[in-house]
Chain A
Amino acid sequence: MIEVIIYLSSGLFLGWSLGANDAANIFGTAVGSKMVKFSTAALIMTIFVILGSVVSGAGASHTLGALGQVGTLPAAFVVAFAAAVAVSWMTKLSLPVSTSHSIVGGIIGWNLYSGYATDLSVLREIVGAWIFSPVLSAFFAVVLYFAFRKWLNNARVHLLQLDFYTRWGLLIVGAFGAYSLGANNIANVMGVFTGIMEIPAYNLSIFSFSGAQQLFLLGGIAISVGVVTYSKRVMLTVGSNIMDISPIGAFIVVLASSTTLFVFASAGLKDFLIMLGLPSFPLVPVSSSQAVVGAVLGLGLAKGGRNINFKLLGKIGVGWILTPITAAVISFILLFFMQNVFIRSVV
């Protein structure tokens, strides 16, 4: 039992750092500009991250399993640990980093070490989703911007009422954002463990929690601990950095990026689109930070801005390439140590 907890700890640490960093993508502007109290934001985040993880976390997790089914618990520990190390290291170097990119690198590292061929079609699907997600997020932001502008011009809402709506709107999209973050990114935290650990389903009178869902619950709690213990300072930095975004702008950015995360996580939406004969989105963990950057760029474009920050775009590209490679290398080296120094089977 203790060994299992130790093995899970790397995933939980990854969850903690996800909560500490990514909560700011959802509530950063609202808390940083004092529109929403941190305690309120943390409470909403906690509830909805856990809900999203448990209810909708399976889809993106399944895709990670298809990329490479890490075979043993020590190996899963190493993969998640390598991802966590890569995230911490690159954060320290001030490079934009995402647990989604990192965990994929970790899994590929395991594939390389164990000699399993990486399913290239799945990898293509994942990388495609990474590239497409900021673009989609920008698109959503543009559409929302024009829709809201039209509504504001026609509806003649009193400024005080508008502030009232905006504040509640930020709370509601914050809840949606937290749900989507949990649904999409819980795969990074617990995805490598779900295929290995045999946990019996837990039956409550109406609900039944599968083994994977119990792991997702644990991961969701780890994310929440990250939110409560560490995200405040990140939020205050984000809030003061992007103050030139108006409150309604912040609402649009959060809604656009959360919708992006949601479409890459919701199996229900995927089935619905397939039923309608429309192209569906693969269920892939994507980066919430990049979705936010995409939305901010989209908003800037819609407002007629011509100054696209190419440096920022370049950094996103670096994130796609450098993070997985770093994680893969770390994963490969640590697997070697786990196998040969700690004498634990990793294949």
Chain B
Amino acid sequence: MPHILFGRSKELEIEITEYLDLVNQGALTFKRDLKRYVQKDFELFEESLTDIKKIENNADEHQKDIKYKLYKYMLIPESRADVLNIIEEIDTITDLAKEVIYEISIEKPVIPAGLESDFLELVENSAEAVDMLVKCVRAFFEEISQVNDYVNKVHFYEHQADKNEERLKRKIFSDQCEEIEIAYKLQLRYFIEEIAALSDQAEMVSEDVSVAAVKRRI
């Protein structure tokens, strides 16, 4: 009997690995799409719009499957609750990424000239925070002693994204952009906050992972 059950835990292991791969792909696609948009490559941006949706759908399917298997197969109840929480929280990130890309495609905000590099930096840091979070979660499963290193890295990138967010907002609402109407400014502020929200969510999940890792100590 043990090897049958053991096979099941292996199955769940693979499912979680694939799920984390999808979250990673989501962050990379998010970065790629926004880069195209900021660099005004609108045609390519619209062409690859469905990529992020496919990833998000696929991740949702995996998430459902993992939930089901976590309950069905052997797992210590307390760690089951922790794993479930992490998987659910991390899913919000992919949802958020898809939402931002689609809303940009619908609303088509105009990025003011001269602020492109600031936008790209914000996107970069936010995506990097997600990347570090995925590494952090992988470490939680495979090499728990490394979790804290990655938690620190997530914090670092989240902090950078916060700074980018503030700087961008200040520039938009300063004299530098006085020719832009207030409605556009508010729209830009909304998107800046949404992009930065990815790193905020990554930080929140990393805190949960950190607590779950402490609980796993002997």
Contacts and interface: CB of A to CB of B under 8 A. Distances in A.
Nearest to B142: A158
A197 B74 CA distance: 48
Given A33-B77, A158-B13, A163-B76, A303 B2 contact: no
Contact of B79 (A145, A159, A249): A159
A169 to B, nearest CB: 11
Interface in B1-23: 2, 5-6, 9-10, 12-13, 16
A297 to B, nearest CB: 15
Contacts of A246: 215-218
Nearest to A252: B218
Nearest to A160: B9
A344 interface: no
Given A33-B78, A164-B9, A152 B218 contact: yes
B75 interface: yes
Contacts of A247: 76, 78-79
A33 B143 CA distance: 25
Interface string B132-148: 00000000111111000
Interface string B142-161: 11110000000000000000
A35 B77 contact: yes
Interface in A256-315: 299, 303
B9 A161 contact: yes
A248 interface: yes
A168 B13 CA distance: 18
Contact of B218 (A34, A145, A161): A145
Contact of B74 (A153, A156, A164): A164
Contact residues of B: prevailing secondary structure: helix
Interface in B40-82: 74-79
B145 A153 contact: yes
Contact of B140 (A153, A159, A303): A159
Contacts of B75: 160, 163
A166 interface: yes
A62 interface: no
A248 B215 CA distance: 11
Interface in A321-341: none
Nearest to A299: B218
B218 A164 contact: no
Contacts of B145: 153
Contacts of B143: 156
A249 B76 CA distance: 13
A188 B141 CA distance: 46
A303 B218 contact: yes
B140 A164 contact: no
A233 interface: no
A148 B218 contact: yes
Interface in A142-199: 145, 148-149, 152-153, 156, 158-161, 163-164, 166-168
Contacts of B215: 246
A233 B121 CA distance: 59
A35 B77 CA distance: 6
Top 4 A-B pairs ranked by shortest CB distance? A160-B9, A159-B141, A34-B77, A163-B76
23 contacts: A33-B78, A35-B76, A152-B218, A156-B142, A158-B142, A159-B79, A159-B140, A159-B141, A159-B142, A159-B216, A160-B12, A160-B16, A160-B75, A161-B9, A161-B10, A161-B13, A163-B9, A164-B5, A164-B6, A164-B9, A167-B74, A246-B215, A247-B76
Interface of B: 2, 5-6, 9-10, 12-13, 16, 74-79, 83, 140-145, 215-218
Given A158-B13, A158-B141, A247-B79, 13 more contacts: A34-B77, A152-B144, A159-B79, A159-B141, A160-B141, A161-B9, A163-B75, A163-B79, A164-B6, A167-B74, A246-B216, A248-B218, A303-B218
